[in-house]
Amino acid sequence: MTNPKPLSKSEFVRGLDCERRVWLDRFRPDLKPTPSLASRERMETGRLLGKLAHKRYADGIFVPHPGEGHNAAAQSTMALMESGADCLFEATFISGGRLARLDILSRGKGSGWVVDEVKSSSVKEPAKLDGDKVRDLAFQVLTATRAGLEVESARLVLVDTSYVWPGGEYDAGAMLGAVELTKECAELEGEVECVSSRLIEVLGSEEQPSVETNTHCKTCDYFEHCHETRPKNDVIFLPRITPSVVRSLREKGFDSIEQIPKEEKLTDARRRMRDVIVSGKPHIGEGLTAALDSIPFPSAFIDYESSNPAFPMYQGTRPYQQVCFQWSAHVLNSPTGTPVHREFLPLDRRDPREDFCLTLWEVVSPCASIVHYTGFEITQLRAMAKDGIPLASELLDAIETRTVDLQRIVAEHVYFEGFRGRTSIKVVLPALVPCMSYKDLMIADGTAAAFGFRKMLSEDTPADEASELREALLEYCRQDTLAMVEIYRVLRILAAK
């Protein structure tokens, strides 16, 4: 197979974990699912941050990308550089079967050029940055350098999360910061060349490559395709399993969890999962009754929704700062009582945190216990208390002294095969309460809720769509707390048995 299309930066990064994924991206796009809402939002955030970054370079020129393809764009890049342009957006270089479209290319202080790649990550010291993002930049530098560009400096332009938005336009100079990575790119040159050469070879083949399936597969777009011949209970699903342990188990002849013998050394969580799969019976721990009996009533089952956009929505907040905008509570006066539902979702564009705390305090202050799922609620109250939001400190004290983490009770005392090694509420609910599900909800997860909230408040959203989003947000958060109540009731039945 001839393969005239050069390897792009995005293909290189996706190939770092799995070369088959790149081959499937290129030749079997029919297998790839529609991008998730989270993926689409990340792409849109990246696009908007790129536009903001351009404001740092007043003399920037976009390189035209005519219909003739990448070669024409590369020629346009060279022509603009030779004409004396000081800054180019989407400058294009091709070398060695690789393609680089640089976010920002500007003249340096000497005879060379500065390569700036814009990412939606937050500013960190070089050693703390995501290694794949540094390799992303190194790929761009390698490609441009081999095409004849003299690179004086290579940097990632990232979001400065210490920036406090004062309102009005976002300040590109204050909200974005550049991290110098020229030395790191040079150190990665050999690795990047080796990996990219292998990927170019893979993309030149008519056959999809044979690869090891392991833990990285669980979140891949092509999981179903690559695992259609693998066991249902593949050892990769064991809780907190690492690639090296997966390989060790496979070397011993254990491809599926039920093949693991009793005498094999496993963590308690992994052994519990193995025993449930082998026996076909759920695990109900002896301590479940005591854990449930320790919950005093009345009890408020609560859940929050929050939004943490790169571009702050409220004056005085920072990029990626979590802002709680919604809560739901189901209050039980006794273990077998009928739950009373309360909720909060703002109607305007003001910072919602003060009203959030005030309305929640009215509900939980009379309760003897406050039930939540994981520690997110406590974390957010700590942040609001630190920011001086009225009643946040009182709420924090109440939840810390009356806390019941339902997820911890499930994780420590109960395991059903349907959990598949996880204990998130989206997994536990259908396993314990089959009649309840999130699949038919318009908004069905936290990412969609945050996006829906921002869209609901947008001035560009028609009133009827905003009203529909509001109802969907209320329904989703209400479902979360009702799910907790129903899980609690099923746990009581299991404990009684």
Closest listed residue to residue 172, CA positions, set 287, 34, 310, 298: 310
Q: Tens of pLDDT along 116-158?
A: 999 999 999 999 999 999 999 999 999 999 999 999 999 999 9
Name the stretches of the chain with pLDDT < 50.
1
- Please give the C-alpha separations between residue 134 and each of 116, 131, 145, 426, in angstroms, as whole numbers: 12, 5, 16, 34
Distance between CA atoms of residues 176 and 162, nearest Å: 10
Burial of 46 (0-12, 13-18, 19+ CB in 10 A): middle
What does the pLDDT read at residue 162? 96
Structure tokens that stand for 363 in this block: 């509900």
pLDDT of residue 41: 84
Arch. (CATH architecture) of 9-203: Alpha-Beta Complex (3.90)
Question: What is the pLDDT, as a whole number, of residue 290?
Answer: 96
Q: Looking at residue 220, what is its pLDDT?
A: 92
Q: What is the pLDDT of residue 67?
A: 63
Query: 218-240 pLDDT, tens per residue?
Result: 989 999 999 999 999 999 999 99
Q: Give residue 37's pLDDT.
A: 76
Two structure tokens written together for 190: 């050999």
State the pLDDT at residue 45.
92
Homologous superfamily (CATH) of 289-496 is: Ribonuclease H-like superfamily/Ribonuclease H (3.30.420.10)
